[in-house]
């Protein structure tokens, strides 16, 4: 079970994390975790292009290693890039030293140091987060979880819940993974169409290279 939105009490526990963007105008912020993956990431890139939308991709270093050409496509389309560790580590089950070594491995594979970091599963210890925040990194969470990864929901539910909880400034979480492909491929173009018709823009989270 999971919530399709991040509750206020969770955001209050970690106020230094980025849960949403300022609600200035009708803007939404799509994010994609776990890629790049052949076929899936390319579908997302083409769909975003059709709607003149930008997004933020939190990449796994090992997937960048396996699929460098697809990663280059993401960069060339002008999307923001975030670090998602090299091996999709669960921070709660990983030592501080190992966790930061894995983040650095991802940085080395990306070829540049991005300001944006998202902990896999949203799980990170305070001792792991503290050095990142001191380095002026942004630990990016979300306030709308599409649930595209779940086999327990239908594509229609994935779409309905994402639309229900999205509002100006929301950071939306999808995945460019095989596991999420069915739900994501149904929901993403419909989310883009729905909010585009309401006058929303889809923007990337600014990602300074540090």
Asked, for residue 210, whether it belongs to a domain, the answer is no
Query: Does the annotation count 33 as an active-site position?
Result: yes
Query: Does the annotation count 208 as an active-site position?
Result: no
Asked, for residue 160, whether it belongs to a domain, the answer is yes
Judged against a pLDDT cut of 90, whether residue 174 lies above it is answered with yes
Asked, for residue 26, whether it belongs to a domain, the answer is yes
Alpha helices in the chain (DSSP H): 8-13, 40-50, 61-66, 68-76, 96-110, 126-134, 155-165, 181-197
**For position 154, what pLDDT does the model report?**
97
Contact between 192 and 202 (Cβ < 8 Å) = yes
CA atoms within 13 Å, Cβ hemisphere of 1: 0
Tokens of 139: 């630990």
Asked, for residue 209, whether it belongs to a domain, the answer is no
Structural domain range at position 63 = 8-202
- Please give the tally of structural domains in the chain: 1
Residue of 115, 123, 54 lying closest to 89 (CA atoms) = 123
Judged against a pLDDT cut of 70, whether residue 209 lies above it is answered with no
Judged against a pLDDT cut of 90, whether residue 159 lies above it is answered with yes
**For position 210, what pLDDT does the model report?**
39
Judged against a pLDDT cut of 90, whether residue 46 lies above it is answered with yes
Asked, for residue 46, whether it belongs to a domain, the answer is yes
CATH number of the structural domain spanning residue 98: 3.20.20.370
Q: Of these residues, 4, 33, 34, 79, which one is catalytic? A: 33
Whole-prediction pTM = 0.97
Judged against a pLDDT cut of 80, whether residue 84 lies above it is answered with yes
Burial annotation 90-129 (CB, 10 A radius, 16+ → b, else e): ebeebeeeebeebbebbbebbeeebbbbbbbebebeeebb
Asked, for residue 3, whether it belongs to a domain, the answer is no
**For position 88, what pLDDT does the model report?**
98
Judged against a pLDDT cut of 50, whether residue 133 lies above it is answered with yes
| Residue 173 bridge partners (DSSP) | 31, 145
Asked, for residue 2, whether it belongs to a domain, the answer is no
User: 159 vs 97, 144, 155, 183, CA distance in Å?
Assistant: 39, 11, 6, 8
49-77, pLDDT tens digit by residue?
999 999 999 999 999 999 999 999 999 99
Asked, for residue 207, whether it belongs to a domain, the answer is no
Read off the pLDDT band of 2 (50, 70, 90): confident
Judged against a pLDDT cut of 90, whether residue 1 lies above it is answered with no
**For position 89, what pLDDT does the model report?**
97
């Amino acid at each position: 079970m999971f919530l399709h939105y991040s509750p206020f009490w969770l955001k209050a526990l970690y106020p230094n994390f980025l849960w949403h963007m300022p609600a200035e105008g009708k803007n939404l912020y799509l994010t994609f975790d776990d890629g790049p993956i052949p076929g899936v990431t390319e579908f997302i890139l083409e769909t975003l292009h059709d709607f003149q939308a930008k997004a933020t991709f939190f990449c796994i270093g090992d997937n960048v290693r396996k699929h460098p050409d697809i990663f280059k496509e993401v960069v060339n389309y002008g999307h923001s890039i975030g670090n998602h560790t090299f091996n999709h580590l669960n921070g709660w089950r990983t030592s501080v030293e190992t966790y930061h070594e894995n983040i650095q491995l991802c940085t080395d594979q990306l070829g540049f140091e991005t300001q944006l970091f998202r902990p896999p599963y949203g799980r990170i210890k305070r001792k792991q987060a503290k050095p990142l925040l001191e380095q002026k990194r942004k630990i990016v969470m979300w306030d709308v979880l599409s649930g595209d990864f779940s086999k327990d929901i239908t594509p229609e539910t994935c779409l309905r819940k994402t639309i229900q909880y999205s509002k100006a400034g929301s950071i939306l979480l999808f995945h460019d993974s095989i596991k999420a492909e069915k739900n994501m491929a149904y929901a993403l173009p419909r989310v883009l169409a729905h909010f585009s018709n309401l006058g929303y823009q889809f923007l990337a989270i600014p990602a300074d290279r540090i």
